[in-house]
Structure 1
Amino acid sequence: PHPQVQHTACNGSSGLGLYSRPFIESFEETPMLVAVLTYMGYGILTIFGYLRDFLRDWKIERCHVAREREEQRDFVPLYQDFENFYTRNLYMRIRDSWNRPICSVPGAKVDLVERVSPDYNWTFDYTGKVVEGVINMGSYNYLGFAENTGYCADASAEVTMKYGVGVASTRQEMGNLDRHEEMEELVAKFLGVESAMAFGMGFATNSMNIPALTGKGCLILSDELNHASLVLGARLSGSTIRVFKHNSKSVPYRCPHCKTVMEGSIVRLPEVIALKKRYRAYLYLDEAHSIGALGPGGRGVVDYFGLDPRDVDVMMGTFTKSFGAAGGYIGGRKELLEYLRSHSHSAVYAASMSPPVVEQIIASMKCIMGEDGTTLGRDRVQQLAENTLYFRRRLTEMGFIIYGNSDSPVVPMMLYMPAKIGAFGREMLKRNIGVVVVGFPATPIIESRARFCISAAHTKDMLDTVTIPPCLAQNGYLFHTKDIKSVHLWSCVLPFFLPFYSFHFLVQRFPNLGTVLKIEKMGWIEKIKLTLVGYPPIPLSGGCM
């Protein structure tokens, strides 16, 4: 496995890899046995997927997807790529783990609309009930500004009464409000740059501005894990693109994407800036997830490393995470921003940002900067840092394998097995904990994971509820820990092979298995009861998916 990578140096020294604070990131390579078993799991699912497609073609099994009419059989097939096969036969098994509708503010706790599926996740019916008080570990509400009460919410409501909700025009026509101008001046001040410009959509901030900055004859170096908005913008630009492998030892410097949301990592910005100066390149820094969440002043990765913002040519970020609003921004030199105002498709053709959204940005940013006359913003930044360290330490002490930087509020916890993706999300929701589970193709096929997003709004009691029995510790068999690998293998491999048959003959043939699994027959479906030291048994249906 990869060892923990730690850099400790001084930014003022010459050379690369110079840091003024400890920089620790951990990425443990998937164990060979786990990788093989994970591939086996996907292989079995794929084989049964082809079998089910065969049964659907012969109308033995009901087909829920759109199909060609008989007279169109000789046309180009509707489904001919692996993505459609994956969606039908693998994704549908665990589709209930995503797109869950909520009916409250996405704060530290959230209310979910209860739904059931009568046809194995092809369609959903709403029961009319609400699951209240679910601890929200999935939203990017880093500083807790996603709220409907308080200073920011009151300011937004007041502005709505004055300006309304929509502007009904572009910035270049009749949609440039005084609040837009004030917001952009405040953003530039917050970032420490000459000028800034805001856009109504974070995705478009990347995808529509990169083509205005680069074109044919330019070279873009891009990390393979860059966000889709960066990838799309680079492709639309017509530039030559060279993709390098994330965290590869053969590529000593990462791309300017500051924090990879699936990995919880932070860019080695001091090295990137030194490299940029050495080769006289331009640096585009995406701080979608780091702005507000990193640094003593909440000013992002530049503040985190104590660097000069003027060393970054283009500073990009979003208001959708730490600020509880919407849209994105670009900051930099005044000449750069004046150019974008007249050449960016997002600036010229997009409608202006909604006034209450603008006011939410202004109010939350002033709060972080302390210009509201309180220390509330500074306290939230500090609380987020403390919550992050506490939660990561708790998971590490319990033996779970987690990825990323020790200061990143994005905490990926490895699950590996495909069966665990759905099982983990469902079991946590049963305990009123909402988490995001991620698998292929969003991650490498052998690196499925659960992703926790820490917020300053989380209390210690909430974090303890997530990390102590009867949640994570009691359900250790659902995860991959360093201490219960034998349990992990048996509990997830056996259901793949024998989902509807008794395990009793295995227990008799292999007595040691009885010390790991306690088997109880439950009608047609087996339930595996796992007893860990100090915790009571918790059932899991055989046939994890």
Structure 2
Amino acid sequence: MEKSSRRFEPKPFGRTGERKQHNGKSTMDHRKKAFTESFEQPPIYVPVLTYMGYGIVTLFGYLRDFLRSWGLEKCYAAQERKEQKDFVPLYQDFENFYKRNLYMRVRDNWNRPICSVPGPTFDLVERVSDDYNWTFRYTGRVIKDVINMGSYNYLGFAENKGESLNSVAEVTMTYGAGVCSTWQEMGNLDKHIQLEELVTQFLGVEAAMTFGMGFATNSMNIPALVGKGCLILSDELNHTSLILGARLSGSTIRVFKHNNMQSLEKLLRDAVISGQPRTRRPWKKILILVEGVYSMEGSMVRLPEVVALKKKYKAYLYLDEAHSIGAVGPTGRGVVEYFGVDPRDIDVLMGTFTKSFGASGGYIAGKKELVDYLRRYSHSAVYATSMPPPIAEQIIRSLRCLMGLDGSTIGIERVRQLGVNTRYFRQRLHELGFITYGNDDSPVVPLLLYMPGKVGAFARRMLQKNIGVVVVGFPATPIVESRARFCLSAAHTREMLDTVLDVLDEMGDYLQLKYSRRTPSIRPELYDESNFELED
């Protein structure tokens, strides 16, 4: 189908007025302290041993592939039939080399079935594999009360208790479980309208539109905003959904170094001066793609500087707040509030409901002109099924709680508790001698493991201690930066965090993971809860 040639052309925000007031103070005044992030480098022997580890794994992998080719060892990997290989192979052998020889051998650390609510603790079904993790059989045993350190349940709204959940049950009985139609046909319910009005009010923008899938919010909407003759400047650590959306758009893509304003400005300057390749015509649009909190690094976008560059070079800004909306800022309104930036300075505000709100789906917000355009031209609006009514009601329930519209202060208390837990957990990890990445206020806490052999061992031994963690390695991270990624939640109690930290202390000594060269402090007063309270 031929794409429409019509494209949305955002205009400068013309509305004036004072910034929203929170707790009697301007959001611009909230963050005065310096932008601090930690990216400590390990001793030189750590990357050397890491490369050696991958080299040994690669060597034995080729040896095993040789044995498989001669039938001396059974190959459990997916394979084509012989007649298929004579034409175009379905599976690229070299691309699957890593997966065959390393990923599949530690895969038991992922894809574990949870059989309870994914709250601060959960129940896990035990399973074992007899064929190097290609298939699994269940033992019938359930591991009870595993401390959940890997879920994006930042505010603890993924729960099954509380009177407010009755409204979700009522909506299910009234509307059913699904819409079974796209937004443009029969899939626009009054619940969707109510949700979009709440999102608009929460973000302080002119309009908002919701979608049934968070990943598709990026991948299906970016192609509707930019196309051939446009330039996309993308942070090198952007999420796959942003990368896919950029590629599907047909725009020219250039990548700048993570959070490096000099790299971004150089690309902007070159784009303005040189224009399009060969023709030297000006770019139709220049769109900057960034995230609020980067889910693998725990870092925050340098938003004030990005906004300043965007204005200087007359570009447009697309901000993905999937991991920051609800999780940072004094009232949970994301990095826009955290840095005191006017939301009208962000051309496209994107976020998901899959983390802080305990649901699914996503939103695009900004000027009414932008939202009206996407209602007509977004692939998600035209082809994708609308958000199920019970999910919409769950988000409405969470938003009303967060905004205090339910008459309680539970929402703001959860935001503050998340901040307390985040700073406490990060400070204790530093004190124990671990290397962590990211911003001090980011609830995503990567703990560096480095060596491939320690990735699987760490996850398995943590589970033996009834702690569920997520471990990540190459190719999802750089080859020498394998890590465990902890996600803090307002639902975590101090006792839970102390239990995890005690186990980490023991595990750090056992697996020799304490690579930090910083001098630790042994002052117990550092762990007084009052020292980790949020600023008002």
Aligned to 1:178: 190
Q: Does 1:21 align with 2:54?
A: no
Aligned to 2:217: 205
- Counterpart pick for 1:101 among 85, 99, 113: 113
1:443-467: CA deviation from partner (whole Å, max 9, x where unpaired):
0000000000000000000000000
Shift of 1:386: 0.1
Three-state SS of the structure 1 residue aligned to 2:95 is: helix
- Counterpart pick for 1:392 among 406, 426, 431: 426
Shift of 1:323: 0.2
Aligned to 2:408: 374
Q: Which whole-Å CA distance do the structure 2 matches of 1:416 and 1:291 have between them? A: 30
Q: Which whole-Å CA distance do the structure 2 matches of 1:30 and 1:248 have between them? A: 22
Aligned to 1:82: 94
Q: Which whole-Å CA distance do the structure 2 matches of 1:367 and 1:434 have between them? A: 28
Shift of the 151–284 alpha-carbon distance from structure 1 to 2, 3 Å rule, reads farther
2:300 aligned partner, one-letter code: I
Shift of 1:60: 1.1
1:199 aligned partner, one-letter code: F
Shift of 1:122: 2.4
Shift of 1:480: 2.5
Aligned to 2:511: 478
Aligned to 2:245: 233
Shift of the 11–174 alpha-carbon distance from structure 1 to 2, 3 Å rule, reads closer
Kept in 1, the 8 Å contact 2:474–2:482? The answer is yes
Kept in 2, the 8 Å contact 1:421–1:437? The answer is yes
Shift of the 146–12 alpha-carbon distance from structure 1 to 2, 3 Å rule, reads closer
Shift of the 54–270 alpha-carbon distance from structure 1 to 2, 3 Å rule, reads same
Shift of the 61–357 alpha-carbon distance from structure 1 to 2, 3 Å rule, reads same
Shift of 1:347: 0.9
Shift of the 65–252 alpha-carbon distance from structure 1 to 2, 3 Å rule, reads closer
> How many percent identity over aligned positions?
70
Shift of the 484–443 alpha-carbon distance from structure 1 to 2, 3 Å rule, reads same
> What TM-score comes out, normalization by structure 2 length?
0.84
Q: Does 1:295 align with 2:334?
A: no
Three-state SS of the structure 2 residue aligned to 1:291 is: coil
Q: Which whole-Å CA distance do the structure 2 matches of 1:77 and 1:160 have between them? A: 47
Q: Which whole-Å CA distance do the structure 2 matches of 1:421 and 1:243 have between them? A: 29
Q: Which whole-Å CA distance do the structure 1 matches of 2:231 and 2:100 have between them? A: 39
Question: Which segments of structure 1 move beyond 6 Å, counting only runs of 4 or more?
Answer: 10-13
Shift of 1:350: 1.4
Kept in 2, the 8 Å contact 1:152–1:364? The answer is no
Shift of the 160–255 alpha-carbon distance from structure 1 to 2, 3 Å rule, reads closer
**Alignment RMSD:** 2.1
Three-state SS of the structure 1 residue aligned to 2:74 is: coil
5+ residue gaps, structure 1: 1-9, 486-545
Aligned to 1:435: 469
Aligned to 1:153: 165
2:45 aligned partner, one-letter code: L
Aligned to 2:319: 285
Aligned to 2:357: 323
Kept in 2, the 8 Å contact 1:223–1:243? The answer is yes
1:140 aligned partner, one-letter code: Y
Q: How does 1:261-272 map to 2 (within 5 A)?
A: 261-272=295-306
Shift of 1:80: 3.7
Kept in 2, the 8 Å contact 1:138–1:453? The answer is yes
Shift of 1:280: 1.2
Shift of 1:479: 4.9
> What TM-score comes out, normalization by structure 1 length?
0.83
Structure 1 window deviating more from structure 2 (74-83 vs 28-37): it is 74-83
Aligned to 1:365: 399
1:312-344: CA deviation from partner (whole Å, max 9, x where unpaired):
111000000000011000000111110110011
Shift of 1:29: 2.9
Q: Which whole-Å CA distance do the structure 2 matches of 1:329 and 1:462 have between them? A: 33
Q: Which whole-Å CA distance do the structure 2 matches of 1:38 and 1:118 have between them? A: 28
Considering Cα pairs closer than 8 Å and 6+ residues apart, tell me whether 1 or 2 has the greater RCO: 2
Kept in 2, the 8 Å contact 1:137–1:434? The answer is yes
Aligned to 2:377: 343
Q: Which whole-Å CA distance do the structure 1 matches of 2:28 and 2:189 have between them? A: 43
Q: Which whole-Å CA distance do the structure 2 matches of 1:303 and 1:447 have between them? A: 31
- Counterpart pick for 2:458 among 401, 416, 424: 424
Shift of 1:162: 1.1
1:135-194: CA deviation from partner (whole Å, max 9, x where unpaired):
000010000000011144222111111111111222222221111101000000000000
- Counterpart pick for 1:408 among 408, 429, 442: 442
Shift of the 279–56 alpha-carbon distance from structure 1 to 2, 3 Å rule, reads same
Structure 1 window deviating more from structure 2 (218-227 vs 150-159): it is 150-159
1:419 aligned partner, one-letter code: G
Kept in 1, the 8 Å contact 2:353–2:395? The answer is yes
Kept in 1, the 8 Å contact 2:28–2:339? The answer is no
Aligned to 1:529: none
5+ residue gaps, structure 2: 1-25, 266-287, 519-536
Aligned to 1:187: 199
Aligned to 1:62: 74
Shift of 1:62: 1.7
1:204-223: CA deviation from partner (whole Å, max 9, x where unpaired):
10011101111111111001
